[in-house]
Structure 1
Amino acid sequence: MTKEAAISLWDSSSAEEDYSNEDLGDVTVDVAIVGGGFTGLSTALHCAETGLSAHVIEAKQIGFGGSGRNCGLVNAALWLPPQKVREKLGTTYGPRFIKKFGSGPEYVFSLIEKHQIRCEVTRTGTIHAAHGPSGFVDLKERHKEWVRLGEPVDLLTRSEVSEMIGTKRFFGGLLDHRCGTINPMGYCRGLARAALGAGAKISTGIRAKKLVRDGDLWRVETDKGTLTAKAVVLGTNAYTDELWPDLNRIFTMIHYFQLATKPMGPEADHILPGKQGLWDTGQIMFNIRRDAFDRLLVGSMGKVVGSKDRGLSHRWAKRQIERIFPDLGPVEFDEAWHGQIAMTPDHLPRIYELETNLFTPIGYNGRGITTGTMFGETMAGLLTGMDRTDLPLPMTDMRTVRSAPIFSRIYQSAFTANQVLKAI
């Protein structure tokens, strides 16, 4: 497959090499995995480590979907505060989910260390910044609950957060010491390298066309052969297509975009000197971070409109940086890109068994790095005899969101309008 243009900054800057292999033919394995992102590659790695034969097929390239377009914040748990998670999942699954996914960053970092994945990792935390006084009220409630649970999360005053970020634009924040940042494409490619090293197989440039039940086995029919397996895991999340009926209708798909400046000089040393990633409490979320080469990244919900050099998103990014860091001066941009996020109605992920031995973890709500990685471990556990009552959340029946396509368009219009408003 001919290499396409870089899909993101991370695609072009990753120290981990890309992997491609268009060979497939007719193959029989224990586990067939559709999707070469965090979920599929983590599933392949963990399955191979248990002795299962696993084969990943990816329609494009490793990390082509949300994994390679992520902003790279390794956050703990969910966007929802822990008390809301407990309320939605109940007294059995709620505390279990909060504890397991609160430790998600540590698990990601442990894999990075174990497999020596070159992904520009930092472990200095992330900052959840208050966009206004009401945001700080919300953060105080979150902090109270995390402290009750014994987690290392600090509440920052306005002056403290200003010093850590290098701007007076925010009204306080939460510093979560569990968290950090990575080059997400580097991490994704590192997972692929680790999975291959453990004995899994990966084929790229091969699209799954049809799933067929054949007795106790599944056939994944592709454009370049057939993969026959005892079990199938669909790891496509927000990039789910029509391979399984209505699966792409269980979430609302939204876009998230990023622009990255060219590497900055000493004039930017005061901006996030600790290299924490930042996300805010705004209804239309905003993020800031620096990469290992001192590029400044800003992003928000929506698509890139225009390019890195001109157009609406370019004006939006320049204006945001001018407002937040007025002393920085003019900036130029290296890359602009967007990816897709699968938002569920209750903002919780799902694990579905669509039919016997056909599984999909899905609906990550913007937390793909930790959720995809940990659900890969969970899939391997399910396929090697895990008691389903030990899952981090209950397995449920698939329910479509009939209004999802409509809301996706409505949200996109709102996000574009937000860019227009803030580009002025």
Structure 2
Amino acid sequence: MLNDPRSHGLWEKTAPAAPVTRALDGNVCADVVIVGGGFTGISAALHLAEAGRRPVMLEGAEIGFGGAGRNVGLINAGMWVMPDDLPGELGDVHGERLLDILGNAPRLVMELIERHGIACELERNGTLHCAVGEAGLKEITERAGQWQRRGAPVTLLDAVETAKRTGTAAYTGSLLDMRAGTLQPLAYVRGLAKAAIAAGATIHTASRVTDYTRSGSQWTVRTEGGSVTAPWVIVSTDAYSTGPWESVRREQVHLPYFNLATRPLSPHLLSAILPGREGVWDTKEILSSFRMDRVGRLVFGSVGALRNTGRAVHVAWAKRALKRLFPVLGTVEFECEWFGKIGMTDNALPRFHRFAENVVGFSGYNGRGIAPGTVFGRTLAQLVLGDIGAADLPLPLTDPKAPAFRPLKELYYEAGAQIAHFADERF
């Protein structure tokens, strides 16, 4: 994307074409201006258009340019934070609301895919959170118990069953979550965009916002090519925020994450590695993830950036790690490689923000973008429509707040991942 083969990798290679869009040229009026063309913004546009409103979206680059088009493609329920910890972080009301809405978020994703016929390689066979060592097993056992007490369809699997499902004996157990699944993320967000346009939304790409001002009850959001005036603004730029809402980017510590895709595996290998097509990630602090795409490419990822010295280090580590996990693979070569950035808040929880009257937005997927992005886009649309009020939101409306030592933390994450991957399985 934008002539960078390491921005979206396999997803750009295999996704259906994006809907035809153009840059904003001139001054227009709308019911809502949406800034940012990822899961949140496009979901909001779709739900607003289906409710009879006229949303206009402004995307600075292309549909799915940010995290929506670069992530692993796991449709997860919940967040990284343990379920029982959310009420302590957010209070009982918002904590339980957030657990409910995020626990059911994968269902909304799958319903939208079905209703709009989105071709995005959807797999409904769940995800496996795999335990590394006894500490990892203790973690997923506690997580399973907390979700089960809330009635969630999650199951704790032992090492033998985990090995059968993953194809490796590296794990002491796993947590199977049948609410979850996998998809091709860029294909999904492009499909959502097509559905939103068909419903009446207008999407302008290559239309980076430069500023916005208010006159009476109306906001005017400007780009180099024109402006959109509307009574409401939804800001959905998240980790890739620049310009007037750069405070959203400053609120987050960027964690780089890369993915590598093999060539399609043989039928014999596909019967041994992830035969059920679950998505997988582990409990390591510098975690790894893997899943299959529709034609049998193994997509393997971890923390790190494929730039400068990082590319050689991370690719070499990935080959060693795959050889350890799956000796049957033999020599591994990668067909595609790409990376992006995960926006982490200081408590690993998402936030809703009120930037000004009738200017609302979201911050901090913390590595869980597909299902939360889709459901939060719908939630922001419901707020604009008046179907819910601020007091009904699953998160309180807050102001952005920058964490201490953010640049140093980002440098630490990128450099630390290189050091860890260079040393891993060498010494």
TM-score of the two chains, using structure 1 as the length reference? 0.96
Secondary structure of residue in 1 paired with 2:360:
strand
Q: Which amino acid aligns with 2:125?
A: T
Tell me the CA shift for residue 61 of structure 1: 1.0
Post-superposition CA distance 1:190-222 (Å, at most 9, x none): 010010011000011111111222222111110
Number of the residue aligned with 2:15: 14
Question: What code does the residue aligned with 1:341 have?
Answer: I
Residue aligning to 1:412: 414
Taking the TM superposition and a 5 Å limit, the aligned residue runs for 1:264-279 are: 264-269=265-270, 270-279=272-281
Q: Is the 8 A contact 1:307 1:314 kept in 2?
A: no
Residue 176 of structure 1 corresponds to which residue in structure 2? 177
Contact 2:248 2:363 in 1 (8 A): no
Q: Which residue of 1 aligns with 2:133?
A: 132
Q: Are 1:68 and 2:69 counterparts?
A: yes
Q: Which moved more, 1:243-252 or 1:290-299?
A: 243-252
Equivalent of 1:303, from 287, 302, 305?
A: 305
Residue 423 of structure 1 deviates from its aligned partner by: 6.7
Read off the aligned partner of 1:339 and give its amino acid letter: G
Give, in angstroms, the shift of residue 92 of structure 1: 1.4
- Name whichever of 19-28 and 246-255 sits farther off: 19-28
Cα distance in 2 for residues equivalent to 1:381 and 1:107: 15
Amino acid across the alignment from 1:162: A
1:49-73: CA deviation from partner (whole Å, max 9, x where unpaired): 1121101111111101100001000
Residue 399 (structure 2) aligns with: 397
Aligned to 2:284: 282
Per-residue deviation, 1:339:
1.0
Greater mean deviation of Cα atoms: 190-199 or 408-417 = 408-417
Inter-partner Cα distance in structure 2 for 1:208 and 1:49:
25
Q: Which amino acid aligns with 1:326?
A: P
Q: Is the 8 A contact 2:162 2:173 kept in 1?
A: yes
The sequence identity of aligned pairs, in percent, is 41
Alignment of 1:36-115 (within 5 A): 36-115=37-116
Equivalent residue, structure 2, for 1:122? 123
Q: Helix, strand or coil for the counterpart of 1:253?
A: strand
Q: AA paired with 2:283?
A: T
1:66-100, Cα deviation, whole Å (9 max, x unpaired) = 00001000000101110111221222121221111
Amino acid at match of 1:268: L
Note the 1:199-278 alignment, pairs <5 A. Answer: 199-244=200-245, 246-269=247-270, 270-278=272-280
Alpha-carbon distance in 1 for matches of 2:321, 2:61? 33
Equivalence map 1:334-413=2 (5 Å)? 334-385=335-386, 386-413=388-415
Query: Counterpart of 1:332?
Result: 333
Aligned partners of 2:85 and 2:20: how far apart in 1?
40
**1:18 positional shift:** 4.6
The Cα shift of 1:22 comes to 2.3
Residue range with higher mean Cα deviation, 61-70 or 14-23: 14-23
Aligned equivalents of 2:227 and 2:309: distance in 1?
39
**Counterpart amino acid of residue 259 in structure 2:** Q
CA shift in 2, pair 1:245/1:281, >3 Å: closer
> Is residue 16–residue 119 contact of structure 1 (8 Å, CA) maintained in 2?
no
Q: In the alignment, is residue 157 of structure 1 matched against residue 158 of structure 2?
A: yes
Gaps of 5+ in 2: none
CA deviation map 1:307-345 (0-9, x unaligned): 99x722221211111010012111221111111111011
Give the deviation of 1:267 after TM superposition.
3.8
C-alpha deviations, 1:138-185, integer Å up to 9, x for none? 111111111111111000101110111000011101000000000000
Equivalent-residue separation in structure 1 for 2:308 and 2:20 (angstroms): 30
**Cα distance in 2 for residues equivalent to 1:356 and 1:272:** 49
Contact preservation (8 Å) 2:127, 2:278: yes
CA contact (8 A) 1:129 1:171 kept: yes
Structure 1: any 5+ residue segments left out of the alignment? none
Mapped partners of 1:17, 1:202: distance in 2: 11
Coordinate RMSD, CA, aligned: 1.8
How big is each residue's C-alpha offset from its partner over 1:232-273, in whole Å with a ceiling of 9 and x where there is no partner? 111111101232353322111111110001111124221000
- Residue identity opposite 1:101 in structure 2: L
Aligned residue number for residue 291 of structure 1: 293
Tell me the matched-pair count. Answer: 423
Q: CA deviation at 1:419?
A: 2.1
Distance 2:20 2:287 in 1: 33
